[in-house]
A and B are shown apart, each in its own frame.
Chain A
Amino acid sequence: MKELLIIAIGSALVNNVVLSQFLGICPFLGVSKKVDTAAGMGGAVVFVITIASFVTGLIYKFILTPLGFEYLQTIVFILIIAALVQFVEMFLKKAMPPLYNALGVYLPLITTNCAVLGVALTNVQKEYNLLQGVINGIGTSVGFLIAIVIMAGIREKIEYNDISESFQGTPIVLVTASLMAIAFCGFSGLI
């Protein structure tokens, strides 16, 4: 139990997926203009990464390992994730329309989010079992949610500030990200 908690906190705060591992930078910079959309994107990422880390874990353990096809992991994982994202989208559209309306727009964007593939590969690299893998997935994606929502909150305030011409747009967002990364460095003593 204690070990699972360490994995969760470690992946959410200490090794934050965006601010210290640099995965999922595209949506972090692109979809963080408003807090609502950022929360929607974060929610969709939590949803997809949790399912993806479970499914890739299952396939690695029960199909790739017994057949000795571990070296095909990259190809297999990326196809599973791409198919999974679209399957989840279709399923939500039919079965849970309210959730689909909240997350739907963000789902297709997640295929190109390297955080999903990153989690699946990390789980294999660190030899996590199925439960540990899912916990790592949840921790990582919650870390993404935290980072993108904080970023969106700061960006809403930045709108009112007077920024020098060259730093408008992406550069000031990157400076903000840098300061957030320094703040997140403070978590490194936690575990």
Chain B
Amino acid sequence: MNRCTERVYNGLVKENPTFVLMLGMCPTLAVTTSAINGVGMGLSTTVVLVLSNMLISMLRKIIPDSVRMPAFIVVVASFVTIVQFLLEGFVPSLYASLGLYIPLIVVNCIILGRAESYASKNPVIPSIFDGIGMGLGFTFGLTCIGIVRELIGTGAIFGQQILPLADAAAGKGGYVPVTIFILPPGAFLVLSGLVALQNKIKNNAAKKGKKVAESAGCGEGGCASCGNGACGGKVFPTGNEE
């Protein structure tokens, strides 16, 4: 497998940001009330990730090491602003349903994490493919969670009614939607189920003696392990580190 397809495979399966690395939990929980929102959020993040990886990789020899964090943040924030305007102009319905979470892509751990750990050290083309892989992995994760929540919560997928709803007035039996799954508590519940499932798979693999990728998630190390991990969360160097 050549280097580019390897990056895409890495992002989609081996280091899937949602299921393996557990990064970017805020948008994962917030926007997955329906599958279409999950796809929209995932693709917006992918666009920002690909463009910021590309630009940061191009500038990696120009940006001085001591101010790299603020520089990365400015790059990411600029692309987020552009994506926000494009969505507002061309897909106003998606813009309305994602709302506040579009500008918050800036603080998504995945983007700064990839900038810090991959794009700032590698040439442009692999960095672009790394962005595509990670972005599609994130989109895949969000879509999965969105489908589960939408199906249980409303009996539909992508707005198409899959399970016929019960109609008490007409005396017709059918599916009674569990509304709590599209409310905030359902987000936590679905995610906990998915993480437990992943633990189960990992435990089984560990019993068979296979080496498993370590989760670098927010769950254990706090946000220090996310994007700004390399400099202890300090965006501007204070000069008294180490």
Q: A71-B85, A112-B228, A166-B200 are in contact. Are A117 and B103 (CB under 8 A)?
A: yes
Q: Are A117 and B183 in contact (CB under 8 A)?
A: no
Q: Are A174 and B100 in contact (CB under 8 A)?
A: no
Q: Are A74 and B195 in contact (CB under 8 A)?
A: no
B-chain residues with CB within 8 Å of residue A85 when the two chains form the complex = 235
If over half of A's interface residues share one DSSP class (helix, strand or loop), that class is named, otherwise mixed; here it is: helix
Q: Whose C-beta in chain A lies nearest to the C-beta of B29?
A: A22
Complex Cα distance, B218 from A31, in Å, reads: 10
Verify if A122 is at the interface (C-beta below 8 Å from B).
yes
Complex Cα distance, B233 from A31, in Å, reads: 15
Verify if A1 is at the interface (C-beta below 8 Å from B).
no
Q: A21-B30, A29-B218, A185-B183 are in contact. Are A83 and B232 (CB under 8 A)?
A: no
Complex Cα distance, B107 from A24, in Å, reads: 10
Q: Are A178 and B188 in contact (CB under 8 A)?
A: yes
Q: Whose C-beta in chain A lies nearest to the C-beta of B204?
A: A166
Shortest Cβ gap from A75 to chain B (Å): 4
Complex Cα distance, B188 from A179, in Å, reads: 9
A 72-93 contacts with B by CB, 8 A: 72-75, 78-79, 82-83, 85-86, 89-90
Verify if A175 is at the interface (C-beta below 8 Å from B).
yes
B-chain residues with CB within 8 Å of residue A90 when the two chains form the complex = 238
Shortest Cβ gap from B17 to chain A (Å): 14
Q: Are B109 and A112 in contact (CB under 8 A)?
A: yes
Shortest Cβ gap from B77 to chain A (Å): 4
Q: A29-B25, A111-B228, A117-B107 are in contact. Are A175 and B188 (CB under 8 A)?
A: yes
Verify if A43 is at the interface (C-beta below 8 Å from B).
no
Shortest Cβ gap from A5 to chain B (Å): 23
A 33-83 contacts with B by CB, 8 A: 71-75, 78-79, 82-83
Complex Cα distance, B109 from A85, in Å, reads: 18
Q: Are B103 and A74 in contact (CB under 8 A)?
A: yes
Complex Cα distance, B191 from A167, in Å, reads: 12
Complex Cα distance, B179 from A182, in Å, reads: 12
Q: Are A111 and B192 in contact (CB under 8 A)?
A: no
Q: Are A31 and B222 in contact (CB under 8 A)?
A: yes
Q: A24-B26, A25-B26, A166-B197 are in contact. Are A117 and B192 (CB under 8 A)?
A: no
Q: Whose C-beta in chain A lies nearest to the C-beta of B185?
A: A181
Shortest Cβ gap from A136 to chain B (Å): 13
Complex Cα distance, B106 from A121, in Å, reads: 12
B-chain residues with CB within 8 Å of residue A167 when the two chains form the complex = 192, 196, 199
- Cβ-defined partner of A170 (8 Å) among B219, B227, B238: B219
Q: A22-B184, A78-B77, A179-B185 are in contact. Are A30 and B26 (CB under 8 A)?
A: no
A-chain residues with CB within 8 Å of residue B192 when the two chains form the complex = 167, 170-175, 178
Q: Are A26 and B232 in contact (CB under 8 A)?
A: no
B-facing mask of A88-131, CB < 8 A → 1, else 0? Answer: 01100000000000000000110111100110011001000000
Q: Are B228 and A19 in contact (CB under 8 A)?
A: no
B-facing mask of A10-33, CB < 8 A → 1, else 0? Answer: 000000000111111111011100
B 76-121 contacts with A by CB, 8 A: 77-78, 80-81, 84-85, 100, 103-104, 106-107, 109, 112
Interface residues of A (CB under 8 A from B): 19-27, 29-31, 71-75, 78-79, 82-83, 85-86, 89-90, 108-109, 111-114, 117-118, 121-122, 125, 165-175, 177-179, 181-182, 185
Sample (8) of A-B pairs whose CB atoms are under 8 Å apart: A30-B221, A31-B222, A74-B81, A108-B224, A109-B223, A125-B100, A169-B199, A182-B185
Q: A22-B29, A108-B233 are in contact. List 9 more A-B contacts (CB 8 A).
A: A19-B184, A29-B218, A29-B219, A79-B73, A111-B235, A117-B103, A117-B106, A166-B200, A178-B186
